[in-house]
């Protein structure tokens, strides 16, 4: 049944063999997975039933104390641009935690091709943010905000 945990589990089993740049798909429990890419990037996926969706997350790194105000302002501003980012959100993993990137992917009509596209786009966006947080704006440039149709192109 589309949009069910069982259909997501089946997609996740197909994902690794169908993506050349995926080193491993590891299931943790019944409804969470970690996808490791060949460049070392890791995206976590968690099933949520209400509404049926996969929640993707990636750690972006700890923010240097000297840049916290600048980066936290940008993370908050990014959330306001939900139309431009396709619903991608940023967060802080607790008071002393790392910056995080999040995306809720509707499971109602999720196919393997759509999931692959969503993962690729999400991973690319996470890498842009990671460079920005690690290197600063002079070296990496600000994160790109034009991610319309984030998960809608296969």
pLDDT reading at 106 higher than 60: yes
What span, in angstroms and rounded, lies between the C-alpha atoms of 132 and 105? 25
pLDDT at 154: 38
Where along the chain do its domains lie?
5-140
pLDDT at 85: 86
pLDDT at 143: 66
How high does pLDDT run on average in the chain?
Answer: 88
pLDDT at 147: 45
Q: φ and ψ at 25, to 5 degrees?
A: -125, 115
Q: Which CATH class is domain 5-140?
A: alpha beta
| 127-149 average pLDDT score | 71
Q: Are 12 and 22 in contact (CB under 8 A)?
A: no
What span, in angstroms and rounded, lies between the C-alpha atoms of 108 and 53? 8
Residue-wise pLDDT for 31-74, tens only, equals 999 999 999 999 999 999 999 999 999 999 999 999 999 999 99
pTM: predicted TM-score of the whole model, two decimal places = 0.87
| 89-101 average pLDDT score | 93
| 84-106 average pLDDT score | 93
Q: Are 116 and 16 in contact (CB under 8 A)?
A: no
What span, in angstroms and rounded, lies between the C-alpha atoms of 24 and 116? 14
Q: Are 89 and 101 in contact (CB under 8 A)?
A: yes
pLDDT reading at 138 higher than 70: no
* DSSP summary character for residue 99: E
pLDDT reading at 75 higher than 70: yes
Q: 87: closest CA among 36, 110, 121, 49?
A: 121
Query: What percent of the chain has a predicted confidence (pLDDT) above 90?
Result: 75
pLDDT reading at 150 higher than 90: no
Q: Are 60 and 130 in contact (CB under 8 A)?
A: yes
């Amino acid at each position: 049944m589309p949009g069910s945990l069982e259909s997501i589990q089946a997609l996740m089993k197909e994902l690794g063999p169908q993506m050349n740049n995926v080193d491993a798909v590891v299931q943790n429990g019944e409804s969470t997975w970690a996808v490791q890419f060949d460049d070392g990037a890791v995206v976590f996926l968690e099933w949520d039933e209400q509404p049926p969706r996969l929640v993707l997350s990636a750690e972006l790194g700890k923010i240097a104390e000297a840049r916290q105000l600048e980066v936290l302002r940008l993370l908050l501003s990014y959330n306001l641009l939900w139309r431009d980012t396709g619903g991608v959100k940023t967060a802080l993993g607790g008071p002393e935690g790392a910056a995080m990137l999040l995306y809720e992917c509707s499971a109602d009509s999720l196919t393997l091709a759509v999931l692959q596209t969503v993962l690729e786009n999400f991973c690319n966006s996470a890498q842009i943010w990671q460079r920005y947080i690690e290197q600063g704006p002079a070296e990496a440039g600000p994160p790109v905000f034009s991610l319309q149709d984030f998960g809608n192109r296969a």
